[in-house]
Amino acid sequence: MGNRKDDMKKIKRALISVYDKKDLRNLLKTLKKYNVEILSSGGTHKEIQKLGYKSIEVSNYTKYPEILDGRVKTLNPKIHAGILMKRMKRSHKKESLKHDFKEIDLVVVNFYPFEKTLEKSTNHEKIIENIDIGGPAMVRAAAKNYKDVTIVTNISQYDNLIDHLNKFSCSTTLSLREKLSSEAFATTGSYDATISNYFNTILKNNFPKKKLFTFNLLENLRYGENPHQESSIYINKNLKLKQLNGKKLSYNNYNDIFAALNISKSLPKNQGTVIIKHANPCGVAVNSNKIESFKLALKSDPISAYGGIVSCNFKINKKLANELDKIFFEVIIADAFDKDSLKILKKKKNLRIIDSSELKNKEILSYNSNFNTLLLQTADNLKFSSKNFKVVSKLKPNSKLLKNLIFAFNICRFVKSNAIVLTKDKSTVGIGSGQPSRLDSCKIAISKLKKFNSKIEGDILAASDAFFPFVDGIETLVQSGVTAVIQPSGSIRDKEIIKYANDAGIVLVFSKTRHFRH
């Protein structure tokens, strides 16, 4: 289908006011080719002259100087009337002629770098000065009047606009203007959201009356959890994960990757291995010997590990790569890979290899969305220490045993509720997850223990993500060989649980916090 003649709008006058002045040359060349008059604000005007092109400085055009240290440049009726006037409305034309308001057909604007300023500075005054006022005002005006005006808000749009102008003799189509208008409102909305969130951060207001979010499209995914579902991934800031090999990541890959990284980044640096299947850990271990760390994690449940994701919070070397190569994994994540390890792992063309060395686990809020609602909460990222726990049994743990219990409890909070985690020397040996009954989770964890780790000798520790509502759960664990249990307090039967632990001669530790993960 062609473009209707009355949908086409000729560009005779353009206003360019940009903070980021890169890549202007080709645009200016095209506008000069079609004799487009250019208006520009101070810094942009100087850049245009430097590039060898002509423009009229806004202050000369409006007959008002830039004032208040540049805070007021383009906030002028001559500018905004030129953008907002309806070309086909007689009263608008009459007023414009009376006041000598000339039509502005193209607006090219990008904003002060507020987000980049936040990354580089904590100086509040400097941050405030990088809130753009005139730019967003012009963008919103042009976007509102898209039937007559073309609005460009990003350098990445220049080439498409140039192609369009050359194709249609310096005119734009309604479809292009609508598309650019939509993108412009997204730009101003995102900009305002970033500013709003900055103020909420300094005010420590996680839950304001209106919560704004801004995310940028990272990529469209093949599909969602299932092939009939559409899916994309958006990022709030730069996602510092580097894919070094393999197929494009899927929705489920990302879901598992994030689950793996949440755990591995919580473990002692350069020692932790996590194996994930369907967003649940099936094996976790901490060991200074990196190959042993992986082998212990794998031993926890080698069947579930097949086709899963492994994440190491250390650099992978050749020896470990050879071990990883023996198992079918969808994704391998590590804090860097040496050259020899990459040679080995890249032989599997489809294997996704992810470098997470630059990723920091600084999640502040977590989200869940359904039925046009948003459940929002602060992240469960407490750093555990002995102060978070209370020994309630007569039998007291030594320092090593308590640290091992805390390890088990840390892993437990990353397992889908109801969750039971069995461990031995900082490695999981049985995990029961996602059951409506806590007793069933106990039985699943025990069955994993018996199936894969039945020959383990010594103390088996158990962690529960919430309190045992009845004695039957802890009793089942003790009968399977568990000698120490860590769990949140808060049940009306806590005293019964303590009595059972004392009668059974086991260590019982209560946490001051509960850690459901639904």
Residues involved in catalysis: 144, 278
Closest CA to 237 of 268, 253, 214: 214
In three-state secondary structure terms, 229 is coil
Distance CA 316, CA 371 (A): 43
Cβ neighbours of residue 356 under 8 Å, at least 6 residues apart?
240, 241, 261, 311, 333, 334, 335
> 3-state class of 150 per DSSP?
strand
**DSSP string covering 431-475:** EE-S-SSHHHHHHHHHHHHHHH-TT--S-EEEEESS--SSHHHHH
Q: Report CA torsion sign: 410, 414, 419, 424.
A: negative
Distance CA 292, CA 273 (A): 10
Nearest to 198 by CA among 112, 131, 277: 131
Provide CB contacts within 8 A for 159, sequence distance 6+.
Answer: 26
The C-alpha angle with vertex 306 and arms to 302 and 311, in degrees rounded to 5, equals: 85
- End-to-end C-alpha distance for the chain, whole angstroms: 50
**Other CB atoms within 10 A of residue 347 CB:** 10
* Alpha carbon separation from 367 to 118, 169, 270 (Å, rounded): 23, 48, 29
Distances (CA, A) of 463 to 72, 429, 485: 62, 12, 6
| Helical pair 494-504 and 471-479, crossing angle rounded to 10 deg | 20
Q: Residue 392: how many CA atoms within 13 Å on its side-chain side?
A: 21
Amino acid at 471: V
**Cα–Cα distance, 420 to 188 (Å, whole number):** 47
Q: Tell me if 230 sits within 8 A of 224, measured CB to CB.
A: yes
Helices (H) and strands (E) in the chain, counts: 19, 23
Strand 352-355: give its sheet, edge to edge: 242-245, 352-355, 331-334, 309-312, 272-277, 280-286
Q: Is 162 exposed, middle or buried (0-12, 13-18, 19+ CB in 10 A)?
A: middle
Contact between 388 and 513 under an 8 Å Cβ cutoff? The reply is yes
Q: What's the rounded Cα separation, in Å, for the pair 362 and 17?
A: 36
Give yes or no for a contact between 500 and 479, defined as CB atoms under 8 angstroms apart: no
